[in-house]
Amino acid sequence: MKKKFLIILLILSCAAFMGLKIKLDNIPRKTVPGSSFIYIPSGKFLKYATFGYSSLMADIIYIWSIQYFSDQKIPNRFDYLDHVFSIIAELDPRYFDAYQIGAIFAVYDAGDFDTCEKILNRGLEKNPGEWIFPFQAGHYAQMLLKDYKIAQKYFKKTMEIEGAPAMAKRLYANAAFEQTDYKTAMRNWVEVYQMAEKEGDERVRKIAANHIYRTQASIDIESINEGLNKYKEQFGHYPEELIELAASGFLVEIPRDLDGNEYKYDPETGEVKSELWWKR
Amino acid sequence: MKITAIALNTFKEAIRDRILYLLLFFAVVSLIFSRLLAILAVGDRVKIIMDVGLASLSLFGALMAILMGTSLVFKEIDKKTIYTLLSKPIHRYQFLLGKFFGLILTLLVMLFLLSLIFIVIVLLHSGRIEWGMFAALAFIFLELCLITAVAMFFSCISSPILSSVFSLSFYLIGHLSWGLETLLNKIKPGFGKTIAQVFYTLIPDLENFNFKTEIVHHLSVPPQVFLYSTIYGIMYTLFVLTAAMLVFRKRDFA
Amino acid sequence: MENALKITGLFKSFKSEFLRKNIEILKGISLSVKEGEIFGYLGPNGAGKTTTLKCILGLIFPDKGKIEILRLPYLSLKAKARIGFLPENPYFYDYLTASEFLRFYCQLHQIKKADIEEKTSTLLSLVGLEKSSSLQLRKFSKGMLQRIGLAQALLNEPELVLLDEPLGGLDPLGRKEIRDIIVRLKDEGKTVFLSSHILQDIEMVCDRVAIIVSGQIINQGRLYDLISQKILFTETTISGIKEEELKRYGECVSSYGGRTLVKITDEKKVEKILELAHRKKAEIHSLVPRTESLEDLFVGTVKQE
């Protein structure tokens, strides 16, 4: 065949297929994503199948999963969230990003704290020295769930890991406080205070001081309220002044706040308040 | 026709190649395996059989195409059977085309055998014949024709091992080009983007032949897609064959 | 006499992969083969014989030069339809039987279906393979492959037959048979271009020869003209005369069982030794004058380069 003829044929066929490709791309094709999930093998199997390229496979699945889980058009897309991220964990246990992103998808997008917890726990299990996992778990529990019991549990776990930030302890103490476990809270805040003083960390010392004040105030107010309630029970109304509680024997003494000031008392409502603790 | 004579001769040669039967064996094994997999699944078993079955056919078919295509021209040159052949009154392009048609005839036979087994397995499981499967199978065959052309092209310019690597890369790129599309959307418009877009349109999009998902899930496919995909396949194959003919024209057989 | 094959100024070089240097294989080959003759193409290994043949057949494209086959452009299908080619160490499709193979090549020559059967059997008989028509080619011995190769070269009753080492790997009987076929081709009016190492065979069948050394034609012409008819020396085997005496007439090459082989260069001394033998009543077992052989010419030519 003549060379010219072949070259023209080459260019024509190239133009043809390029044109068709553009046309084809513009026709939307229906997809049923997630349909192949039923038989995605477990991560262990996949690890052997990838011949040593398991961490690359983890990357690929990870990148894919981000696109997948971000696609709002896919119905029930979170059904296999844990499964996918467990595969990634199996393939590359040290893929920290993956655990965290998986947790975010679970707790923010899917509103599923249990899965989030699962994923982060897996991360910790495979990487016992990584405090970030329990830390995030506690953080989400506190921020989104407002469940301070769970939060406290995780902040405790965080604290136990070497290298964990000091903040963990403070969050732990705060979580205890929110659960009205003032004893634990106080003990921990005092420890924080002492540590801060020793290290000369003025900022943290001030924070600790404030929290100690607050905790103490809460403890005091709690006992004052106890007295007030007993008084009301007996007398049918709140006393005019707190001193009367002491006089009546409901309280041994009226505590003062740590600054030495009296607690503010409103005889109408029976409310006892302290200074705004963070404005000290 | 001389091309027919060469095609039939190639067919006879290829069909006696033992490696083909090895691949056939593995393909059948994986079809049977799909049946076992189905037992592990929850829910619609037939879907898994069809999915795995079509995927195996596609994969093993591609391997056959690459294996045969790459060894083809090389064997002729290496064993010097090409010397007497080209001294006969035939054009070089007739030789290439004859080889090509002989190969796809072989692939047709192999695919037909495998399809038969596949359909029987599906029939046994679901008691019904899925008409969509035939469409999927037809497009698998079209894809194999393109891969064969590519394998032959590389076989004209390099050794079988390199040709196999290049052909395999073509297959992989062809199935992953959608990734480039996703990436393209994130590039800012400009000269770089235009170049990338041209490149993207040039590289093969083998997913155009992939109707497995739709068939398996009984989704409808707009008829234009079938038409355009077929023509796309034919045009791309023509493109590759023309390139091969151009390269083959002035090649010295030292 | 028209030219069956004419080559003018053929140049071909290859790029060496290692050194990126151009290696010149053919440095201006020119030769012509007259119709109806048997033409011998000789040269040492690596001289460029096979390269020349490949150029003629369009398997390689020369850098420069002109080739005409039967006065037609050498690459045209018309030309190819009128030639036959047997490559060196031929190899064919393993899995085909002899008759299937010939049938396939008949189809390439577009020989009518009705004639194919007859043609294949005729040719198989010609090359002595009629008993192996259903045997798969992979079971063929080298000699058999050579013969089937010759058969496929003659399928289309070509006017010009190109043979590259057609006698290689054959036993003496086989060589004789092929030589006979070649001579018969000439009798049928065909032209034969024969590239070979086996000088004795060339000497026996060729009309004209060309000697190629390092890509150039050193010598070309009628065999009769190239090899002088001069007697180089005479060899005689005598018994009954002692070696010391014989030494005066020529070189005593060897002696065995009482017989001495003497090589006499001077023609006059031949007469003298015969007289001596007659006088001494010695026995002369053989007396052979040796003219220059193709081998002498060849070795001498090659040594010069």
Asked if B128 reaches chain C (Cβ–Cβ under 8 Å), the answer is no
Between chains, do B214 and A29 touch, taking CB under 8 Å as contact?
Answer: yes
Q: What is the CATH number of the domain that holds C293?
A: 3.30.70
C64 and C99 housed in the same domain: yes
Give the Cα-Cα-Cα angle B20, B25, B28 (nearest 5 degrees): 125
Residue at A105 is within a domain: yes
Sequence-separated (6 or more) residues with CB below 8 Å from residue A172: A152, A155, A156, A158, A159, A188
In tens, the pLDDT along A199-216 reads: 888 888 888 888 888 888
Stretch (H or E) spanning B5? helix B2-15
Confidence band of A34 (pLDDT split at 50, 70, 90): very low
HEC string of C182-229 equals HHHHHHCCCEEEEECCCHHHHHHHCCEEEEEECCEEEEEEEHHHHCCC
Count up the domains in chain A and report the number.
2
Contact C85 B84 (CB under 8 A): yes
Last residue of a domain, one of A83, A108, A127: A127
Rounded-to-integer distance, Cα B223 and Cα B215, Å: 14
Instruction: Summarize pLDDT for C58-75 with one digit per residue, the tens.
Output: 999 999 899 999 888 888
In this prediction the ipTM stands at 0.80
C150 and C294 share a domain? no
The minimum CA-CA distance between A9 and chain B, rounded to whole Å, is: 7
d(CA A118, CA A85): 10
Centroid of chain to Cα A115 = 13
Same domain, yes or no, for C172 and C276?
A: no
In this structure, the answer to whether residues A200 and A270 fall within a common structural domain is yes
Could you say which of C205, C223, C241 is where a domain stops? Answer: C223
Residues C49 and C171 both lie in one domain = yes
C150 lies in the same domain as C24: yes
What is the count of structural domains for chain C? 2
More confidently predicted of C70 and A258: C70
Pairing of strands C259-264, C283-291: unpaired
Residues 6+ apart with CB under 8 A from B9: B98, B102, C93, C96, C104
**Distance (Å) of CA C265 to CA C250, C252, C256:** 7, 12, 21
Model pLDDT for residues C150-206, shown as the tens digit of each residue: 999 999 899 999 999 888 778 888 888 888 889 999 999 999 999 987 777 788 888
Strands (E), chain C: 3-15, 22-34, 38-42, 64-69, 72-73, 83-86, 160-164, 191-195, 208-213, 216-222, 231-239, 251-256, 259-264, 283-291
More confident residue, C31 or B40: C31
Which of A20, A31, A39 is closest, CB to CB, to B48? A39
State whether C14 and B254 contact (CB < 8 Å).
yes
Which of A127, A148, A167 terminates a domain? The answer is A127
Mean pLDDT of A80-96: 86
Structural domain boundaries, residue C271 = 231-304
Task: Give mean pLDDT, residues A159-180.
Answer: 88
The pLDDT tens digits of the residues spanning A111-149 come to 889 999 999 999 999 988 899 999 999 999 989 888 889
Q: Are residues C157 and C283 in the same domain?
A: no
Give the one of A1, A10, A35 whose C-beta lies nearest to B91's C-beta. A1
Note whether residue A100 is domain-resident.
yes
Give the containing element (helix H, strand E) for A264.
strand A264-266
How far from chain centre, in Å, is Cα C14? 26
Identify the residue whose tokens are 């900022």: A203
Residue range of the domain that includes A98 = 40-127
Q: What is the mean pLDDT of residues A241-254?
A: 75
Q: Sign of torsion, CA A249 A252 A253 A254?
A: negative
* pLDDT score, position A133: 92
Query: Same domain for A185 and A274?
Result: yes
The answer to whether residue A176 scores a pLDDT higher than 80 is yes
- Count of A-B CB contacts under 8 Å: 78
- The domain boundary, picked from C223, C251, C272, lies at C223
Q: Which of A83, A111, A127 is a domain's end point?
A: A127
Contact by Cβ (8 Å): C48, C217: no
> How far A41 CA lies from chain B's nearest CA (Å)?
11
**Domain boundary pick from C169, C192, C223:** C223
B 35-64 near C (Cβ less than 8 A): none
